[in-house]
């Protein structure tokens, strides 16, 4: 996965493990050890189900490995999991597996600085308001439309990750109006 997206190991800040199957956790201890070998100092957050922390503790003990960075474990619960500057992630328990929703935030278009300078606007909070698309009323009664100062905003999207193979009402509702990343539903 990292090779396809050209993600550097030093850029990893969060790891999400959906279940304790061997295909999900077999290379985790090796990845964490490699991060330690490259002298990582940043905190690493690992999100997973109950038992993952115990698995890693046993793996560290038997391989006599120590990490040079802090690891924080977060156990999945229904609701909000994590956020970044560009997305929010939620989880919901469906029988014995978790299902996930990933919401990307709307991104503002590029601000036309030269166009704003033509109106003799002072740099500061007004630029931020215009970039978000607000209209401003000047003291002389002239209205400045914020949509003219930026490219089109890029809308956010909703993506779902359905892990359970049987169709439930919850799965169908989660899946509505979202792009499905992995779908193993059987109707």
Residue 82 lies in a domain: no
Question: Could you tell me if 62 and 3 lie in one domain?
Answer: yes
DSSP state, 71? E
Question: Looking at the 3D structure of the chain, how many domains does it have?
Answer: 2
Question: What pLDDT is attached to residue 159?
Answer: 72
CA 113 to chain centre: 30
* Beta-carbon contacts of residue 159 (< 8 Å; ≥ 6 apart): 101, 102, 104, 178, 179, 180, 181
**Structural domain ending residue among the three candidates 15, 47, 75:** 75
Cα–Cα distance measured from residue 54 to residue 184, given in angstroms and rounded to the nearest whole number:
29
* Beta-carbon contacts of residue 49 (< 8 Å; ≥ 6 apart): 17, 18, 19, 20, 75, 76, 98
Question: Could you tell me if 67 and 133 lie in one domain?
Answer: no
Q: What pTM, to 2 d.p., does this model score?
A: 0.61
Mean residue pLDDT across the chain: 77
Place of tokens 């990307």: 104
* Residue 177 pLDDT > 70: no
Residue 46 lies in a domain: yes
Residue 127 lies in a domain: yes
Give the model's confidence band at 2: pLDDT under 50 very low, under 70 low, under 90 confident, else very high.
Answer: very low
Residue 122 lies in a domain: yes
pLDDT tens-digit map of 53-98: 898 888 888 888 888 888 888 888 888 877 777 778 888 776 667 7
Are 34 and 2 a contacting pair, CB within 8 Å? no
Give the model's confidence band at 145: pLDDT under 50 very low, under 70 low, under 90 confident, else very high.
Answer: confident
Question: What pLDDT is attached to residue 187?
Answer: 35
Closest CA to 153 of 104, 109, 105: 109
Q: Which residues, listed in sequence order, are joined to residue 87 by a DSSP beta bridge?
A: 104
Give the domain range for residue 61.
Answer: 1-75
């Amino acid at each position: 996965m990292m090779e396809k997206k050209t993600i550097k190991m030093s850029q990893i800040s969060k790891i999400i493990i959906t279940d304790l199957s061997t295909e999900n956790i077999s290379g985790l201890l090796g990845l964490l050890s490699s991060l330690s070998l490259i002298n990582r100092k940043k905190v690493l957050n690992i999100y997973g189900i109950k038992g993952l922390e115990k698995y890693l503790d046993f793996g560290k003990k038997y391989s006599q490995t120590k990490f040079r960075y802090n690891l924080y474990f977060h156990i999945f619960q229904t609701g909000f999991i994590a956020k970044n500057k560009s997305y929010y992630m939620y989880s919901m328990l469906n029988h014995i597996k978790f299902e996930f929703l990933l919401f990307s935030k709307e991104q503002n278009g590029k601000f036309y600085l030269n166009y704003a300078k033509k109106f003799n606007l002072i740099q500061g909070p007004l630029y931020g308001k215009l970039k978000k698309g607000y209209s401003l009323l000047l003291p002389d009664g002239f209205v400045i439309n914020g949509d003219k100062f930026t490219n089109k905003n890029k809308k956010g999207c909703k993506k779902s990750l359905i892990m359970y193979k049987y169709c439930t009402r919850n799965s169908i509702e989660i899946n509505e109006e979202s792009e499905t990343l992995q779908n193993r539903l059987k109707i």
